[in-house]
Amino acid sequence: MILNLETEFTFAVEQATDVLLQFEVARLASQRVETSETRINPAPTLTRVMAEAGIGERIWLPASGQVSVSYCASVGVERSAPPLVELASLAPHELPAEAVGYLLDSRYCPAEQFQALVETEFGTFSGGARIEAIRSWIASNFAYTPGSSGTETTAVDSFVARRGVCRDYTHVLICLARASAIPARYVSCYAPGVDPPDFHAVAEVFLADPSNSASGTWYLVDATDMADPGETAIIGVGRDAADVSFLTSFGHSNFGTLSVRVTKE
């Protein structure tokens, strides 16, 4: 399946500073970037470094004054998505070293305090069936409400408010997964069904392979039900939204406008 992406955004910094951007689709076996063009104005010298977990790139941009960014790409996505309920979890001690960090508390996902709750509410399920129960519960009980959350909103706030946007849905799902001893991480991405159109966020959980219960891999899960794994173009991954913001500034910046357009071919 081919996704065509067009993104534009603008911002201004008060003082010359290096700004960190992450908005380009990662090059992965499951998603082939056919064409891609990034334009930044004024045209700077960009520095690219590998992003978290080696997925995608971060761009350092020496910014001063007004900056506008545009990005178009055409991406062929081929990603199989077995039903979550058929997947087992690994015992914690079977996890690969690089998955263990995704069990721990992070900026927006203070997961540990949810341990008793997850046992009470979802204790009858395990593995992928528990993730599916959590996803389904969030999807049914939360109201997708643009503007109802901000950069300080944590999963605890969202859990109580029962509203938020994709970022918040994903943070709650990550917390409940980690509190269940299942590694979970945050995925920034593009997807065609997002309404209103915007960057999207979903979770990835680490579960056992269907064919080999001693090894595992990451599976996409969208608590908003807006993005099918087979139609999701991953930008990057991290502990939570703090790791994959499309714009991180070290100094005060004023955000301008953003448009995101994703279509299926």
CB of 177 to a second copy, least distance (A): 12
CB of 170 to a second copy, least distance (A): 16
CB of 43 to a second copy, least distance (A): 15
Residue 50 sits in the site that holds a second copy (CB under 8 A): yes
Residue 96 sits in the site that holds a second copy (CB under 8 A): yes
Residue 248 sits in the site that holds a second copy (CB under 8 A): yes
Q: How many residues does the chain have?
A: 265
What is the pattern of x (binds a second copy, CB under 8 A) and - over residues 148-187? Answer: --xxxx--xx-xxxxx---------------xxx------
Of 7-26, binders to a second copy (CB under 8 A) are 17-18, 20
Comparison of 79 and 239: residue with beta carbon closer to a second copy: 239
Residue 49 sits in the site that holds a second copy (CB under 8 A): yes
CB of 106 to a second copy, least distance (A): 5
Do residues 191 and 111 lie in contact, with contact meaning Cβ atoms separated by under 8 Å?
no
Residues that bind a second copy (CB under 8 A): 17-18, 20, 47, 49-52, 58, 60, 62, 91-97, 100-101, 103-107, 110, 112-117, 119-120, 141, 143, 150-153, 156-157, 159-163, 179-181, 238-239, 242-243, 248, 250-252
